[in-house]
Structure formats: structure tokens, C-alpha cells
Amino acid sequence: MSQYQRLLLIADPQQHQSPAARRAAALAQASGAALHALVFVEPPARTYLWEEHLEDSERQAYLQRHERWLQVEAEWMREQGVEVTTQVIWSTQVLKDMLAYIDEFQPDLLIKDVTLESALKRVFVTPLDCHLLREAPVPVHLVNDAPHKLPRRIVAAVDPAQSDTQISGLNGLIIRAANALALQCDAQLHLLYAYDLMPMLDGVAPVASTAWSVNCLDELRESLHKEFERLGDEYNVPQEFRHFIMGPPVPGIAQFVDEYLVDVVVMGTVHRTGFGRLIGSTTERALYSMPGSILAVKGGAAC
């Protein structure tokens, strides 16, 4: 049975046969899903800079250029047997209009190229991709690179230590989404937890920390490993595909992706408020820190 019925590609008019477009076409072909390719067109930069008014004829000409480009993209997909429809939308508030469209369309999977932003820019402006990770109501597949049109290795990155992932059932959502993609692509499914016990030592006096670490950190590690194995057993992940590694989450996941040539990392996002929203989630930090691509599923709210 197909895992997907409706796929939504937010296409990048700056790229021909982009990684996300190739991934979307391959998934649609493998699943038989209907693919809708969408481009949001903003007014030219000069209209923002000088507050110029764009005449209707200019706007239509601008839209037509994007429509012609999108039809070229759709044609090579159709040649591969993909059922694809296209749409170009004029927007002066891309994020707002994009989220409204996604909410109404309700695809099984949203697919988009990663838009790389500098670290300095991300300090002052939240990238569109991060907004989608936080706010899109459907699974979001952000494609950074796609050496294989269909992924061959998929890893579900879980976190048994976080109470919010337990409460929302996010770990289960992550594994089920990873398994659905793996089944559709006939790919290997791996389960990964990169654990970091060092933050547990914060605030502990140096003399006390050694004794505390000997007695407590081993117990904590064993507790986390037990929960990790429980998840693996519950979802029938083969033992050789379970990876319980020590280290900070983002570097640990990035190293694993590089060593195992992972195509897609499936991670969770939790709606956060307060300071947690400012520093971003592990998924957001991983987006710009590792090779491969991310598929993000959404859990409940956390403070």
C-alpha cells in the first residue's frame, strides 16, 4: 500500500531539476502519489526598495516568466510518468500565504529545497525553512542534497531523555514517519540516539562531580539505553540498525550521517515558547550543520 497520496513541492525557480524536485518526482513515481508543484512569486526587489507600484501588465509578465519555468520543470517529471500539476502564486507575504496554503491543501508530505543562510543572518532573521519546521501542520522534508533520488538509508533520530517527546509521543511519530518513508523507498531504517550526559554535571562542585558521575551517570546512561532499546523493540528495528552513541546531539547526528552515508534524518519539532524559541530546536540547528536531508514531524507544545 502506498504511504503517500498527495505530495506538495515548493519549487525553487533559481534551480533546474533541484534536489527537492528530483526527490519529489522520485517519491511520486514510487508511490503513485499526485504531485503538486508550487511557486510563490514575490514582487521584484526594487518595488520593496523604492516602494514602487507594479503595474498589472508588469506583474503578469513577471508571473508568466515563472509559469514558463515551472512548465519546463513539470515536463521532465511527466516524461518520467509522474502525475504533476502546477501553480504560481503572487505573494507579498510569502510565509503567511505559504502556511495558509499548506493548511488548506494538507499534503501527506511537503518537500522543499534547503535555503542556505549565513549564521550571521540567522541571528537577526529567522529563515523561512525554520518557520516551516516550527509552524507547518504537516511533515516537512527539507532537501539539502539528493545523490540518490530515492533515499537508501534513513535514520530516525529519537530522544528518550526529553520529557516533552515522551508526553507528546514524538519519538513514536518520528519512527513511524521514518518507517513509512523507508517502506516507500525500500530503504534501510536505522534508529539513532546521540546522548550527552555532560550537561547533567552543570552546577556540581568539582570534588563532588567525580563521585556523582561514577554513581549517577552510569545509572542515567543505563536508563536511557533501556528506553532506547524499548523503542527499538516496539517498532521492530533490527538490533544491528540501532545506534546508541555518546556526544552532543547535532555533532553526533552529523558525524553519523557522514559515516553511514545517510540520505534522510527524520527528526521531531516541538512548538516552543520563551527562550527555547529563541535558541531554536535541535532540528533547526541540524538543518545547517550536517549533510543529507531532514524530514521533520511535529509534536505538541513545550515551554
Q: Is the pLDDT reported for residue 78 higher than 50?
A: yes
Residue 243 pLDDT: 98
**Global pTM value:** 0.87
Q: Looking at residue 266, what is its pLDDT?
A: 97
DSSP string, 241-292: GEEEEES-HHHHHHHHHHHHT-SEEEEEEEEE-THHHHH--HHHHHHTTSSS
Q: What is the pLDDT of residues 171-194, one digit of tens each?
A: 999 999 999 999 999 999 999 999
Contact call for residues 11 and 39 (beta carbons, < 8 A): yes
Residue 18: band (very low, low, confident or very high) from pLDDT cuts 50, 70, 90: very high
More confident residue, 43 or 99: 99
In which order are the strands placed within the sheet that holds 293-302? 84-90, 34-41, 6-10, 109-113, 140-143, 293-302, 264-272, 153-157, 188-195, 242-246
Q: Which residue has the cell 513577471?
A: 62
Query: If you average pLDDT over each of 39-43, 173-177, 268-272, 285-289, which comes out highest?
Result: 173-177
Q: CA torsion angle for 157, 263, 120, 110 (degrees, to 10)?
A: -80
CATH homologous superfamily of 1-147: HUPs (3.40.50.620)
**String of DSSP letters for 19-65:** HHHHHHHHHHHHHT-EEEEEEEEPPPHHHHHS-PPPPHHHHHHHHHH
Q: What integer pLDDT is reported at residue 73 of this predicted model?
A: 97
Look at residue 284 in the predicted model and tell me its pLDDT: 84
The better pLDDT of the pair 156, 220 is held by 156
Task: Convert the pLDDT of each residue in 274-285 to its tens digit.
Answer: 434 433 478 888
pLDDT given at position 111: 98
- Given a cut of 80, is residue 80 above it in pLDDT? yes
Rounded mean pLDDT, 182-209: 76
Q: List CB contacts of 192: < 8 A, sequence separation 6 or more.
A: 155, 156, 157, 158, 243, 245, 253, 256
Q: What percent of the chain has pLDDT over 70?
A: 80
Q: Which CATH code for domain 151-302?
A: 3.40.50.620
What mean pLDDT comes out for the span 207-218? 61
Whether 301 has a pLDDT exceeding 60, the answer reads no
56 pLDDT tier (thresholds 50, 70, 90):
confident
Domain ranges in the chain are 1-147, 151-302
The residue whose grid cell reads 515551554 is 303
Q: How much is the pLDDT for 265?
A: 97
Instruction: Check: CB of residue 295 under 8 Å from CB of residue 138.
Output: no
Q: Read off the pLDDT band of 286 (50, 70, 90).
A: confident
